[in-house]
């Protein structure tokens, strides 16, 4: 009797683990590939990661006297988080571009804020 109870628990545990692996696989794959874009509300700007070439684009899209500031953070495998760089755009034509080689030795996150105040927009964590 005791043996069959353990067998049932093992089967249920294996089924749950399989379900978790299947359901989380596509979400993790999406976080690891392609371009990423975050956008500020009210058309104030955006920050985009171009996977082909590893270039970040920071764009102030509203002529309101305030620019935007983008930041790239990295979470290392050990768990600590560091700011890799901060760059801004505003007051000139075109967007600012910041080349940075994103690897797969940790996870990266973009943040973007409007320099006139308000909340910061944050991307999901991603890598290549």
Annotated domain spans of the chain: 1-32, 33-122
How many whole angstroms separate alpha carbon 79 and alpha carbon 32? Answer: 18
More confident residue, 27 or 55: 55
More confident residue, 100 or 91: 100
More confident residue, 20 or 99: 99
């Amino acid at each position: 009797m005791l043996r069959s109870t353990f067998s049932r628990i093992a089967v249920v545990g294996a089924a749950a683990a399989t379900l978790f692996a299947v359901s989380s696989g596509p979400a993790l794959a999406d976080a690891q590939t392609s371009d990423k874009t975050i956008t500020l509300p009210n058309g104030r700007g955006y920050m985009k990661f171009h996977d082909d070439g590893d270039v970040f684009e920071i764009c102030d899209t509203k002529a309101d006297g305030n620019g935007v500031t983008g930041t790239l953070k990295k979470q290392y495998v050990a768990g600590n988080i560091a700011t890799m760089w901060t760059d801004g755009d505003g007051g000139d034509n075109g967007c600012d571009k910041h080349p940075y080689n994103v690897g797969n030795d940790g996870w990266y996150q973009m943040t973007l804020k409007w320099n006139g105040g308000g909340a910061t927009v944050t991307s999901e964590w991603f890598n290549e």
